[in-house]
Amino acid sequence: MAVKMRDYSLTGPENKLAQEKGLATADWYISPIPRQRLKELMKRKDGPAIRDTIIMFAWLIGTGMLAYYAWGTWWAIPAFAIYGISYASMADSRWHECGHGTAFKTPWMNDVLYQIASFMDLRPPTPWRWSHARHHTDTYIVGRDPEIAMTRPPVWRIIFGEIIHIYGGTRDLKSVITHCFGRLTAAEKDYVPVSEFRKAVWISRIWALILLGFITWSILIGSILPLMFVGLPTFYGPILLLLVGLAQHLGLREDVLDHRLNTRTIYINPFFRFLYWNMNYHIEHHMFPMVPYHALPALHEELKFDYPAPSPSLWAALKEVIAALMKQKNDPSYVVDRPLPATANPYYYGA
């Protein structure tokens, strides 16, 4: 018997159902933390993000030059792999942190890096800003959250397709094209306010011009090399951001009002943490989105007593995710519930 899948779209019946059940725009569980300590952790700084942004561009220029000189040889494959994975991963994490406005203390710095990072990952900045706000309001509430990485039961074709970002990338490009004609897509209209439509449309038109410029350049010189640096990295370099993205929430619960039940904190190595800007502390981020990336390790120490034990590595988290997805293929209700330490408050399942 075929396993029935719920309607994950924002325009289907689950949206209204979630609202009726009190799951939409609801009050979520928050771990206790003294206000004074939280204020220290929320404090904004320019220094760490300026340092990291300089390192990011220096790294991309360095690995990009290696890739350029290796072009035409077999060395181009590892060189572009390093460039592309770094490019796509760092663009994703910078897009995310600057979207929250927490990377820098100075607002315009967040805005500038947000626009650059969005373009690097070809992620239309205005709709994605609003979609991410909804993801925070209604994290993994079916019919409400536009950023649920995979349905239950899972569709493996989509997961494997995302190794080259074929589904997400095509959706984003379609969205850019739709904006160029002065419209937003139906799903975007559910979470982007009308006052922002104009901005979305004009940014996409500027992007289209830049991308057409790169395509024309490639055609004129008879080589895809220019597009290997801008445009294509989001399609050939998303593997790391896909893996960390899958590990954030999958295999855990949907339709609950406690981030400890639907989000995973993972320990990863310092290099990945730099690329990912500490988003491995993901429960902490969801519960306290005002704490900047550089203070997340300290926030993690404060909240350990109330959280399930973190996954010890990315690999361990992925093993848990894959095992859960395989079970969900036949039993979509299957989820992993991680035990809480004795010091923690009980889980809050919500409405």
Partner 1 sequence: MQELLQWVEACEADAIDEEDVIRFDHGDRTFAIYRTAKGSYYATDGYCTHEKFHLSEGLVMGTIIECPKHNGRFDYTTGAAKRTPVCVDLRTYPVKLEHNKVFIQI
Q: Which residues bind partner 1 (CB under 8 A)?
A: 25, 39, 42, 44, 100-102, 107, 129-130, 133, 136-137, 193, 195-196, 288-290
User: What's the first-to-final CA gap in the chain, in angstroms?
Assistant: 31
Of the two residues 203 and 228, which places its CB atom closer to partner 1 in the complex?
A: 203
CB of 193 to partner 1, least distance (A): 6
CB of 146 to partner 1, least distance (A): 14
CB of 29 to partner 1, least distance (A): 14
CB of 306 to partner 1, least distance (A): 17
Of the two residues 103 and 314, which places its CB atom closer to partner 1 in the complex?
A: 103
Of the two residues 39 and 171, which places its CB atom closer to partner 1 in the complex?
A: 39
Question: How far is residue 285's CA from residue 299's CA, in Å, rounded to a whole number?
Answer: 9
Of the two residues 139 and 328, which places its CB atom closer to partner 1 in the complex?
A: 139
Of the two residues 28 and 71, which places its CB atom closer to partner 1 in the complex?
A: 28
Contact of 324 with 334, CB cutoff 8 Å:
yes
Of the two residues 152 and 294, which places its CB atom closer to partner 1 in the complex?
A: 294
CB of 276 to partner 1, least distance (A): 19
CB of 288 to partner 1, least distance (A): 8
Q: How many CB atoms lie within 10 A of CB 112?
A: 14
